[in-house]
Amino acid sequence: MSGALRVGVAGLGTVGAGVLRLLDTHGAMIAARAGRPVVVAAVSARDRNKKRPVDLSGYRWFDDPIAMAADPEIDAVLELIGGCEGVAKDVAEAAIAAGRHVVTANKALLAVHGAGLARAAESAGVTLAYEAAVAGGIPIIKTLREGLAANSFSRVYGILNGTCNYILTSMRDTGRDFAEVLEEAQRLGYAEADPSFDVDGVDAAHKLAILTALAFGCEVDFDGVYIEGIREISALDIAYADELGYRIKLLGIATQGEDGVEQRVYPCMVPQGTPIAHVDGVFNAVVAEGDFVGRVLVEGQGAGAGPTASAAVADLIDIARGIALPTFAIPAAELRRRPALAAERHVGSQYIRLMVRDRPGVIADVSAALRDCDISVEALLQRGRSPDEAVPVVITTHETTSAAMDEALSRIAGLKAVLEPPRRIRIEAL
């Protein structure tokens, strides 16, 4: 192919500015690797007068990103606006309809509308690329779609949100509780002013839904993801996890079974001896389990201007080379609708922490509730006596269904000696 790949950048926040800096810094190297120059031909954002860390004077400015997407002097649109509805979706759809390639870092858009956008892009003969949408600078999309394309995957899982991983790591290292560490993460810029999407697990669920579709050849099903966040994790739980030989991580886990797909995002205890237990701070990690390759782990920075820009520009380089692959590894028309397996059916071991009034018979009553729900206790920890104050009781179980544990916890919560709602954390053997 000849001539430069002309890119329109929609959205000039942290990542958009990072892309402009990267292309300016490595323009010659990228041209050599792509076989032709990759240049920004136009930009668009909500506020033209906003102060930004890059000089925009050399770029054509569009107040309307949808008009930019259809401009005949644009070959590819880099969508960095964010959000699953509104302008971001309109820009992507307008670009595809005009025959422009689309590169996006928008996990929410793909998690909700990925299948439809993939069908539209393939029908129009253009690329929809999204390496930057999942795990920042980690090339997990290329890994699954290209490097491991010869494998059938049984499971894909990982640490998909750096904010949560930072908070849990800092809680473990310092012994502080969630609220204090969250406030620190906001001061350092690791967490948003409204951290809900991160700490409530939604961001990780968006990414998991994308990985599930890619790994298992099924339609993206964000609504099928079971989601729990980390707000209820306490320093006490983290200390007990360490004592029991575990670390607490917010994981996204997708498993393919004969009768459907299970997608879960929740905090869980993982054995300290597993590699993913030692991925700390703002780093992400993804594990794919293939039938021929076995288990593969990739780790790196999951967010930020540099890593995310790196992933986005890698997609632009592929487009400039003329590399065209189906959005989710197989043609969109062949993506299957797989039933979403209910979270209640999941089988696994669990950790329970109770705060109880230290009176005779408490443990017997708790054990009876577990027994009546056919749950077997693996270990029980209770230290000290304080008849006038709440004391912690920690129980780990053998494998049971989530539905059975839900029923047992409901019964336990109704005991007079139990002073707080029971805390439950799943244990993942991995």
- How many Cβ atoms from other residues are within 10 Å of residue 360's Cβ? 8
Nearest to 65 by CA among 94, 101, 108, 104: 94
Q: Are 38 and 272 in contact (CB under 8 A)?
A: no
Dmax (CA) of the chain:
82
Cα separations in angstroms, 96 against 80, 100, 112, 146, 404: 16, 5, 17, 23, 48
Q: Which is the catalytic residue, given 89, 107, 142, 207?
A: 207
- How many Cβ atoms from other residues are within 10 Å of residue 153's Cβ? 21
- Strands 38-44, 60-62: parallel, antiparallel or unpaired by DSSP? parallel
Q: SS3 helix, strand, coil % of the chain, rounded to 5?
A: 40, 25, 35
| Opening angle at CA 111, ends 109 and 114, nearest 5 | 75
Q: Are 135 and 308 in contact (CB under 8 A)?
A: no
CA distance 181 to 170: 7
Rg, Å, the chain Cα set? 24
Mark whether 89 is an active-site residue. no
Burial (CB < 10 A; 0-12, 13-18, 19+), residue 13, is middle
Q: Which residue has the tokens 């593969």?
A: 296
What is the DSSP annotation of 200-228?
TSHHHHHHHHHHHHHHHTB---GGGEEE-
Q: Are 222 and 112 in contact (CB under 8 A)?
A: yes
Total residues found in the chain within this entry: 430
Q: How many CA atoms within 13 Å lie on the side-chain side of 328?
A: 29
CA distance 402 to 347: 6
Straight-line distance from the first to the last Cα atom of the chain, in angstroms, rounded to the nearest whole number: 46
Nearest to 406 by CA among 339, 342, 341, 340: 342
| Opening angle at CA 57, ends 130 and 192, nearest 5 | 45
Hey, which residues are catalytic here?
207
